A and B are shown apart, each in its own frame.
Chain A
Amino acid sequence: MQTDVLVIGAGLAGLVAGWQAASRGRRTQVIAKGWGITHWHSGCLDVLGYYPPESPEAVRSPAEGLAQLIEANPGHPYALAGLDAIGEALDAFQQLCAAAGYPMHGSMERNWLLPSAIGALRPTCLAPETMIAGDLGQRQPMLIAGFETFRDFYADLVADNLSAQQFPARAVTLDVPTLRRRRTLTGVILADLFEAPEFRAEVVEAIQPRLGDAARIGFPAVLGLRQPLGVKHDLEERLGRPVFEIPSLPPSVPGMRLHRLLVAAIEQAGGRVYEGMQVVAADADDGRVTAVWSEAAARRKRHQANAYVLATGGVLGGGLVAEADGRVREVILDLPVAAPPDRSQWFRRDFLDPAGHPIYRAGLTVDRSFQPLNGTGQPAYSNLLAAGATLADCDVLRERSLEGVAVVTGYLAGRRAAELT
């Protein structure tokens, strides 16, 4: 099959780029070493949570924060995109999720504050419907429910921290018969169990005597992988109160829902997504990328397309490797990487230093079309685009802009790639 757009990387940026190219009628393939950030992150869409990153106060309005950021930091991917395009990309993403029956609620005008799995107030722009009853813009008393043998959620700690911040909350740690019989319990297993009405009945029975004055009930974010809204509504009906999810340690069930949703959107538009194909090299000629090479089990495979989107991630995703000798490499095309000049400037002394560690701002410099630039400031290849955490000049974790940068840049790079073919 001929390919118009080849996206390398299946994190959020790569999947959004693939969806954009495919939905514009381009023959699209997404190939990746493995699944990306969707299996690790919160499952929300953070656009801008703290700005400047060292500010102790969360950003109230992402739109206002972005305006500030764009002015102060013209090299930031958000600044390259511009406010209008950011809004357009988020709207499109919201529409996609709503159409898929998994609405992401919120707007650029106001960040949600939602409880984290340790009881911190987590700012985020768009949250799935399964999480929004945890809104800490309100103070109705909460009951936080954990499970006796589930090691990735500590309800007492969540409730105590929320109470300490004047959000009334109590905790209950449930001893559910089905779980007593299980020797292995992960979030994904719990999500699977929650899709069975019998298991939900057990949970409801265990929780009912402890409801007290609680006006809403928070669970770890494991309320089903395939039918989360059905699970949520059923629990709400039986408990007579709103129910919400709190994201915790990876693997992320809400992130996996977004992953499934995006893969389905790409496939519906005729595109294909393949994992287990790590791209290891590329061919170029006359200023164009002509092919990339993936390494599968036994052989190298050549992939040709008219346009390529590099969405391989940063240090975490593996698109950038920061070597002990101080060099920071882009792993496929060896594109120039903007990075601190030597290793002595990579880190700050405190892990939690609010300003973040400079090495994580390393990345590819791109123009306003998201084409990576070569050493002389010209597009490195006329048919190559880049998106997501591989881009320079943003620390998506400290800014709490991880998903926002991925969706916005993936959207624009995918759209541009479609235009190029």
Chain B
Amino acid sequence: MRQVETQVLVIGGGATGAGVLRDLAMRGFEAILVEKRDLCHGTTGRFHGLLHSGGRYVVKDPPAAVECIQENRILRRIMPGCIEDIGGFFVVTPWDDPAYGERFELGCRKAGIPVEDVPISRMLREEPRLNPRISRCFRVPDASADSFLATRLNAESARQYGAQVFTYHEVTRLHMTGGRVAGALCHDLVRDEDVLVRAHLVVNAAGAWAGQVAASANLSVPVLPSRGTMLAVNQRVLNTVVNRCKMPSDGDIIVPAHSVAVIGTTDEPVSDPERFAVENWEIRLLLDEGEKLVPGIKEGRILRCWAGVRPLYQETPAAGGDSRDVTRSYALLDHESRDGVGGMLTIIGGKWTTYRLMAEVTVNQVCARLGSGSSCRTALEPLPGPEHATYHWLGEPLADVENASAYADLVCECELASRADVERAITGGDAHTLDDIRRQVRLGMGPCQGGFCSYRAAGLLHAVQAPAAGEANVALRDFLQERWKGLLPVLAGQQLRQERLNELINLDVLNADHLPGPAASRLAAMMYEPAKDGR
């Protein structure tokens, strides 16, 4: 069995794990991160991409609100290229308690969140599609963030400081010596072999999966995985994040993200972070609630549906069990003081917005345990990448394409991903699957959902990596199925028509369903379970 040694092993390649890895590396630790799939394969790649101002929590969870606004300011500074500063509204609709507005405004002031009362006439001038029956509107510094890019840049920065990232390394179990955690036994899914990573200290940053990781050392980490379902509509109907001004609830936000708008979210406990269904009622609810903010949004083309699993954490479960009541703050568990088992810390809970803070407190504790390391600099040193704020709407890449007259170079015409982008993702980005390419360049995330670009990307993957033809075939089939997964719950109308065209291309013209190679690879995405309320 292959064996690797390091000082600190980080488990989990989401925002938190990548943030911890960077912080460790910057403070002089030797560190390795293992991720069971690709970076951002878990919750980080499955949320609406909101950079919280904290406004959402000012009434219900003020400490979480304070954390959010402090980190909001820091992230704007250290990753300007990942954040689109579009601002956010909290709006009181006819369905909301008008009295909440006062509590909201007061809460913002207490938490230190800049809040501005926006006249309705001005709100409608800025966002003409918002419901004219909205009675009150507050502006707060919410923003739209690219969590895929941010996580990759954290990993890249960590690598520059000497850390290593092993994707497609799934933890089989924690490795124990003398009653201490001393690393983890992993399975390398790409090479299909086991790898033992020995470490002086393990940081469990596996998010919704943290309980499973800890359980292999007989440690109990009471994670309450909670599913949040989202819908993408095929238009950027707004240019501002719009929240309902009320207590947090299902379907209370629309976030413009790249070329689409995301309606979010639900909050449903799940027993297993991998196996859960997206229910039909969630889709109906999200559309109904979205309609209250943007009348007519229901008539638009619903591109896709997905669900992420929040890693909520509560040491002593509350009675009632509503996951909306679980804090959105984070917790750092040192299993030596908590359970008498040395060698591992678990960082759990929190929001994407607070990932850096979570990494900082985790690595502070690493320093204390290992008796070395310098002070944290992640709040000061920007991530590599563009130093200016970028805009994710399609106009920006389109201008580049137009200036270069490079239409012929587009592999994904919906999201304007060029051949050079895709080739870079394959060579520099360590992409193993078309889905890995997608997470880097948004391949297949637009209206056609992979109809045209899947074949092209498979052709490029084959041309660049020159795997056996069978591997390119299965990469294509995996990707078609991965796209199908998020279409299935919402497919109808014009999007169904599109999907039939995708069948024409991939089955009738290419005959991709009768190619050599297995039907699916072991790197294929997991499907949602069939909905219990209908399919």
**Most B C-beta atoms less than 10 A away, residue of A41, A351, A398:** A351
A121 touching B505, Cβ below 8 Å? no
Given contacts A120-B514, A316-B500, A397-B504, contact A352 B493 (CB under 8 A): no
B99 within 8 A of A: no
Task: Find out whether the CB atom of B497 lies under 8 angstroms from the CB atom of A352.
Answer: no
Cβ-defined contact, B469 with A164, below 8 A: yes
Interface code B245-262, partner A: CB below 8 Å = 1, 0 otherwise?
Answer: 000000000000000000
A247 to B508 CA separation, bound complex (whole angstroms): 11
Interface string of B187-202 (1 = CB under 8 A from A): 0000000000000000
Which of A41, A157, A347 neighbours the largest number of chain B CB atoms within 10 Å of its CB? A157
Looking at the complex, which of A204-212, A272-280, A321-329, A378-386 is the stretch in contact with chain B? Answer: A321-329
404-424 of chain B: CB within 8 A of chain A: 404-411, 419
Do residues A397 and B514 form an inter-chain contact, with CB atoms below 8 A? no
Beta-carbon contact of A349 and B468 below 8 Å: no
Chain B CB within 8 A of A354 CB: yes
A349 engages B496 (CB within 8 Å): no
Nearest B residue to A56, CB-CB: B514
Interface size on A, residues (CB 8 A): 62
Say yes or no: A116-B406 contact (C-beta < 8 A), given A156-B462, A322-B493, A397-B504. no
Q: Which residues of B contact A116 (CB under 8 A)?
A: 509-512
Contact across chains for A161 and B469 when beta carbons are under 8 A apart: yes
Query: Do A42 and B476 contact each other (CB < 8 Å), given the known contacts A58-B514, A156-B463, A343-B492?
Result: no
Cβ–Cβ < 8 Å partners of A252 in chain B = 509
Whole-angstrom distance between the alpha carbons of A411 and B472 in the complex? 41
How many chain B residues touch A (CB < 8 A): the figure is 57
B473 touches A118 (CB 8 A): yes
A402 contacts partner chain B, Cβ-Cβ < 8 Å = yes
Query: Which residues of chain A are near B530, meaning CB under 8 Å?
Result: 349
Q: Are B527 and A343 in contact (CB under 8 A)?
A: no
Contact of B504 among A149, A316, A322 (CB under 8 A): A316
Q: Is A416 an interface residue (CB 8 A)?
A: no
User: Does the CB pair A151–B463 fall under 8 Å?
Assistant: no
A154 B462 Cβ-Cβ under 8 A: yes
A315 contacts partner chain B, Cβ-Cβ < 8 Å: yes
* Complexed CA–CA distance, A323 and B491 (Å): 9
Out of A46, A151, A343, A351, which one reaches B456, CB within 8 Å? A151
Q: Which residues of B contact A343 (CB under 8 A)?
A: 492, 534-535
- Which of these, A149, A248, A318, A350, contacts B484 with CB under 8 Å? A350
Contacts of B411 in A (CB 8 A): 151
| B429 beta carbon closer than 8 Å to chain A | no
Contact assessment for A397 and B493 in the assembled complex, using a CB-CB cutoff below 8 Å = no
Closest to A395 in B: B503
Q: Does A105 contact B (CB under 8 A)?
A: no
A262 to chain B: closest CB distance in Å?
19
Tell me which residues across on chain A come within 8 A of B527, comparing CB atoms.
349
| Distance from A343 Cβ to chain B, minimum over Cβ atoms (Å) | 7
| Beta-carbon contact of A182 and B408 below 8 Å | yes
Question: What is the bound-complex CA distance between A221 and B62, given in angstroms?
Answer: 64
Q: How far is the CB of B507 from chain A (nearest CB, A)?
A: 6
Mask for B97-114, Cβ within 8 A of A = 1, else 0?
A: 000000000000000000
Contact: A344 with B534, CB < 8 Å? yes
Q: How far is the CB of A349 from the nearest CB of chain B, in Å?
A: 6
Interface centre among B455, B490, B501 (most CB of A within 10 A): B455
- Distance of A316 Cα from B503 Cα, bound (Å): 10
- What residue of chain A has the Cβ atom nearest to residue B494's Cβ? A321
What A residues does B491 contact at CB under 8 A?
Answer: 346-347
Does B408 contact A161, Cβ atoms closer than 8 Å?
A: no
When the two chains form the complex, which single residue of B406, B488, B496, B508 contacts A400, counting CB atoms closer than 8 Å?
A: B508
Q: Mark B478-494, 1 if CB is under 8 A from A, else 0.
A: 00110110001011110
- A250/B477 contact (C-beta < 8 A), A160-B469, A315-B500 known: no
Instruction: Tell me the chain B residues, 400-449 only, with Cβ under 8 Å from chain A.
Output: 404-411, 419
Residues of the A chain whose Cβ atoms lie less than 8 Å from the Cβ of B4: none
Q: Is B515's CB within 8 Å of the partner chain A?
A: yes
Interface centre among A183, A323, A350 (most CB of B within 10 A): A350
Q: Judge whether B513 is part of the interface by a CB distance below 8 angstroms.
A: yes
CB distance from B284 to the nearest CB of A (A): 9
Interface string of B513-530 (1 = CB under 8 A from A): 111100100000001001
On whether A250 and B505 interact (CB within 8 A), knowing A151-B411, A315-B500, the answer reads yes
Known: A118-B476, A164-B516. A157 touches B509 (CB 8 A): no
A window 353-400: CB within 8 A of B: 354, 359-360, 397-398, 400
Any A CB within 8 A of the CB of B296: no
**Is B373 among interface residues, defined by CB-CB distance under 8 A?**
no
Contact A118 B512 (CB under 8 A): yes
**A residues within 8 A CB of B317?**
none
B515:A161 contact, CB within 8 angstroms: yes
A109-137 Cβ-contact flags toward B at 8 Å (1 or 0):
00000001111111000000000000000
* Residues on the A chain within 8 Å of B458, using CB: 118, 154, 157
Residues of chain A within 8 A of B490, CB atoms compared: 324
B397 interfacial contact with A, CB 8 Å: no
A184 to B455 alpha-carbon distance, docked (Å): 19
A–B complex contacts, Cβ < 8 Å, 21 sampled: A41-B508, A117-B510, A151-B408, A154-B455, A154-B456, A154-B462, A163-B469, A186-B408, A247-B509, A315-B497, A323-B493, A324-B492, A343-B492, A343-B534, A347-B491, A349-B527, A349-B530, A350-B481, A352-B480, A352-B513, A397-B508
Given A117-B509, A120-B514, A164-B516: 13 more A-B contacts, CB < 8 Å: A42-B509, A116-B512, A119-B469, A156-B466, A160-B462, A182-B408, A183-B404, A249-B452, A250-B505, A347-B488, A351-B480, A351-B481, A351-B483
Residues in chain B within 8 A of chain A (CB atoms)? 302, 404-411, 419, 452, 455-456, 458-460, 462-463, 466, 468-470, 472-473, 476-477, 480-481, 483-484, 488, 490-493, 496-497, 500-501, 503-505, 507-516, 519, 527, 530, 534-535
Q: Which residues of A contact B (CB under 8 A)?
A: 40-42, 46, 50, 56, 58, 116-122, 149-154, 156-157, 160-161, 163-165, 182-186, 247-250, 252, 314-316, 318, 321-324, 342-347, 349-352, 354, 359-360, 397-398, 400, 402
